[in-house]
Chain A
Amino acid sequence: MKRASARRWLLLAVLLFALALVSCLLLWNAPGGEWVAVERDGEELFRFRPADIEGAQTFDVPYAGGYNTIAVENGEVRVAAADCPDQTCVKMGALRSRALPIVCLPHHLTIRFVDGAEDGGLDAVAR
């Protein structure tokens, strides 16, 4: 009884692992998008189209005395620098999949691909 039960849990663990693995592959390979939105606490700060930006550009998104520096180059968007304690947002590299936003948990910031243009423009924050 005990042994059968443990085996059942092992099977469940393997299933969980496989499911997570498949989801990861699907998420990783999801296509990108035309527009990129920068959000804090789930609310959009602004959105822009990387293709519109000529050459390389960076702009800072301030947060409570801190910042995240977003860099756009050749249509690629990434966090070039930040003063968050974990630096995860910097290490995540360029935005590549519609399903996987760049996240800075300490600064409550997400950067992700979205559909279409809406109000709010890059000009408002670009330096």
Chain B
Amino acid sequence: MDARRLTRLALLTAAALSLFIVELQLPDLFPIPGAKLGLANIVTVYALYRCRAGEAAMVLAARILLGGLLGGRGIAIVYSAAGGTACFAGMLLLKRAIPERHLWLASVFGAALHNLGQMAVASIIAGTAVLAYLPFLLLAGCAAGAFTGLCAQLVIRKGRFWKL
């Protein structure tokens, strides 16, 4: 891996972490267990479409690990790892079916998969009663996924202009 690519990955990881930290400061939008805007996913979605799969995976893994450490909510790391993995694997496949200009749509499915992964872990940890919140989580996730996807699309369009 040359220095240029490495720098870009480091930059993406830093951006993802910053977004993650910013979101920790925001008040919760929905009183639903596990619901989050997922601002850091803007970077994940961007990396998935603009970098190699392995590189995008590295950025995601680094963000989850470092974010978990910085966020200081021990168990949260398990949820985001499960959700992140499901989301990443799904979007890697979707990338072939959904072109970049419909990226937001891929992001919606990514968010839904993220919720499914999260809920799978939550039902194991806290009992199956939490599954009742899956539909609420999916609604919030679809909206959040569309938003982060549109942000990523915007970044890609601006990035082209700035020759990133």
Pairs across A and B, CB under 8 Å, 6 listed: A20-B139, A43-B127, A91-B28, A99-B132, A105-B130, A110-B130
A86-99 vs B, Cβ < 8 Å mask (1 yes, 0 no): 11110111000001
The range of chain B's interface size is 20 to 34
* Chain A count of residues within 8 A CB distance of the other chain: 39
> Which residues of chain A (74-119) have a CB below 8 Å from chain B?
85-89, 91-93, 99-101, 103-106, 108-110, 112
The reply to whether the CB of A6 lies closer than 8 angstroms to some CB of chain B is yes
Measured in the bound complex, the distance between the Cα atoms of B12 and A83 in whole Å is: 34
Measured in the bound complex, the distance between the Cα atoms of B128 and A106 in whole Å is: 15
Question: Could you say which residues of chain A place their CB within 8 Å of the CB of B108?
Answer: 13
Measured in the bound complex, the distance between the Cα atoms of B99 and A47 in whole Å is: 53
Question: Could you say which residues of chain A place their CB within 8 Å of the CB of B109?
Answer: 9, 12-13
Closest to A13 in B: B108
Measured in the bound complex, the distance between the Cα atoms of B105 and A39 in whole Å is: 38
Measured in the bound complex, the distance between the Cα atoms of B34 and A12 in whole Å is: 23
Closest to B35 in A: A88
> Which residues of chain A (6-63) have a CB below 8 Å from chain B?
6, 9-10, 12-13, 16-17, 19-21, 23-24, 27, 39-43
Question: Could you say which residues of chain B place their CB within 8 Å of the CB of A105?
Answer: 33-34, 75, 79, 122, 125-126, 130
The reply to whether the CB of B52 lies closer than 8 angstroms to some CB of chain A is no
B134-151 vs A, Cβ < 8 Å mask (1 yes, 0 no): 011011001000000000
Check if A41 sits within 8 Å of B126, measured CB to CB.
yes
Given A91-B28, A93-B31, A105-B33, is A27 in contact with B132 using a C-beta cutoff of 8 Å? yes
Check if A39 sits within 8 Å of B112, measured CB to CB.
no
Given A16-B142, A100-B132, A105-B122, is A9 in contact with B105 using a C-beta cutoff of 8 Å? yes
Check if B98 sits within 8 Å of A109, measured CB to CB.
no
Question: Could you say which residues of chain A place their CB within 8 Å of the CB of B94?
Answer: 9
CB distance from B57 to the nearest CB of A (A): 23
Check if B105 sits within 8 Å of A10, measured CB to CB.
yes
Closest to B73 in A: A85
Check if A101 sits within 8 Å of B130, measured CB to CB.
yes
Given A41-B127, A105-B34, A110-B126, is A20 in contact with B142 using a C-beta cutoff of 8 Å? yes
Check if B142 sits within 8 Å of A92, measured CB to CB.
no
The reply to whether the CB of A2 lies closer than 8 angstroms to some CB of chain B is yes
The reply to whether the CB of B164 lies closer than 8 angstroms to some CB of chain A is no
Closest to B109 in A: A13
Question: Could you say which residues of chain B place their CB within 8 Å of the CB of A108?
Answer: 125-127
Check if B28 sits within 8 Å of A86, measured CB to CB.
yes
